Amino acid sequence: MTPISDLLERILHALHDGAPTEITSWSDDELCRHLDDVERVGRLVDALRVQAAAEVDARSRRELGDASLSRRLGRPNGTTLVELITRTSQSEASRRIRLGRALAPRVALGGELLPAEFELVGAAVHSGRIGLDAAAVIVRHLGEAARTAAPEQLRAAEQHLVGEAETGTADVVGIQARVLCAVLDPDGAVPHERELRERRRFVLGREVAGLTAFHGLADPAHAAILRAALAERTSPTRQPRFLDSEAMADAISEAGADADVPTDPRTREQRAFDVVFGLLTAGIRADNAVVGSLHGVATVTAVIRADDLAKGTGVAWIDDIASPISAETARELVCDGGIRVQVEGPKGEILWLGRRERYFTPAQRRALAVRDGGCIWPGCTAPPSWCHAHHVVEWEQGGPTDVDNGASSKYAPSLSAS
């Protein structure tokens, strides 16, 4: 028995014998501390998992022939052997192997041991400072940027992202990794965007027991329009939309005459379904003989720097979509009714805005939505379409109707609604 396996055996016995049974009686502080402790242990165990999975796969290489570990144990490859031993899914076994390879030291042709491809990520994972989710997203995005970025740029980006992963969530690290990847490889958005568009699809299945299933994939630009359409029409501050007259009458009757907004009896998924098919029905009923383009059914904002828009280089970022689009696509969208393009200067200052007036203009509201990303109220995750523009310094107190004095908020007990 190896020293590490002996240690793990003792830890397993200790955890099994000391498993908490009265967790519901713990105080909030005790519960949160326990969760943090368990997660730290889990990160260290996860590091051992990916390390062992990658080593099993390395010893199961096809070129080893009959000496291959997986073949000697009756499995076709390393992935299926890891799957069998760990009793995980094949996708999870593959994920562990891929990450383990990226974090493991490399062997040169002459047998010399080289640092891991992502040495900083590997050190952070094996010390338990970051988890596998954050590590995987860093490796994936920086691996894409490695096609064109210089080694010193990748090293600096890796160091920054590891630092962020030590204190932030994996989702936030993923957003920052995508931004850095776009900066390091701005031209990479073009082939990536083309690849995503080629994978778009909509599939209508067969009817089963009276219901027909459908599914599909949308590229970033079309996904943004769909998300905006759903968010705008399912806001809790709006009267129920695309609800049949009988159901609407029941909702109004149940809410009472004093209610501002009737209670929507539908589930979130049912509302989304009715919105999509309500918009589809409206499009089908549109008069094909009308000359001119149709108005956009949803407002989506694409943000891009002025010099990038002029040159057609770099990338643009669109509402609620993680993948960037190319500057060339953003230029094509300038005249599109479905997506509005917001242009920023070299220091991030917003260049396209409406004129000043008592109430925030639509352009300013879009600017606030892009800047704030939704409700700024602590703990509120409402998207931009659910929020209103408010003065930070109230209008009555001399506050200007400027973006710098505006804020997006669903709740504004201390802000002046505008």
Please tell me the predicted confidence (pLDDT) of residue 39. 93
Please tell me the predicted confidence (pLDDT) of residue 282. 76
Please tell me the predicted confidence (pLDDT) of residue 353. 46
Among 126-135, 153-162, 263-272, 287-296, which is the least confidently predicted range? 287-296
> In the predicted model, is pLDDT for residue 372 greater than 90?
no
Q: Strand pairing partners for 350?
A: 344
> In the predicted model, is pLDDT for residue 142 greater than 60?
yes
169 pLDDT tier (thresholds 50, 70, 90): very high
Q: Could you read off the pLDDT of 64-95 as tens digits, one per residue?
A: 999 999 999 999 999 999 999 999 999 999 99
Top-confidence residue, 258 or 405: 405
154 pLDDT tier (thresholds 50, 70, 90): very high
Helix 119-126 and helix 28-58, axial crossing angle in degrees, nearest 10: 130
**Do strands 406-409 and 106-107 pair parallel, antiparallel, or not at all (unpaired)?**
unpaired
Please tell me the predicted confidence (pLDDT) of residue 403. 81
Top-confidence residue, 349 or 394: 394
> In the predicted model, is pLDDT for residue 388 greater than 60?
yes
Average pLDDT of 213-217?
92
Please tell me the predicted confidence (pLDDT) of residue 237. 63
Percent of the chain with pLDDT over 90: 33
Q: Which of 356, 370, 351 lies closest to 408 in space, CA to CA?
A: 370
Mean pLDDT value across the chain: 80
Highest mean pLDDT among 166-175, 190-199, 335-344: 166-175
Average pLDDT of 364-382?
83
Q: Looking at this protein, which amino acid is placed at residue 63?
A: E
Count of CB atoms situated within 10 Å of the CB of 96: 26
Please tell me the predicted confidence (pLDDT) of residue 291. 43
Q: Could you read off the pLDDT of 38-52 as tens digits, one per residue?
A: 999 999 999 999 999
**What DSSP character marks residue 417?**
E
> In the predicted model, is pLDDT for residue 124 greater than 70?
yes
Q: Which helix (H) or strand (E) holds 304?
A: strand 300-305
Please tell me the predicted confidence (pLDDT) of residue 120. 96
The 10 Å CB-count burial string (b at 16+, else e) for 359-390 is ebeebbbbbbbbbbebbbbeeeebbbbbbbbb
345 token code pair: 């200067």
Please tell me the predicted confidence (pLDDT) of residue 93. 96
Top-confidence residue, 123 or 21: 123
**What DSSP character marks residue 260?**
S
Please tell me the predicted confidence (pLDDT) of residue 417. 43
Please tell me the predicted confidence (pLDDT) of residue 293. 42
Please tell me the predicted confidence (pLDDT) of residue 339. 60
248 pLDDT tier (thresholds 50, 70, 90): low
Average pLDDT of 364-376?
84
Global pTM?
0.62
Residues 411/380, Cβ–Cβ less than 8 Å: yes
Average pLDDT of 178-199?
79
Average pLDDT of 282-301?
55
The 10 Å CB-count burial string (b at 16+, else e) for 326-353 is bbbbbbebeeeebbbbbbbeeeeebeeb
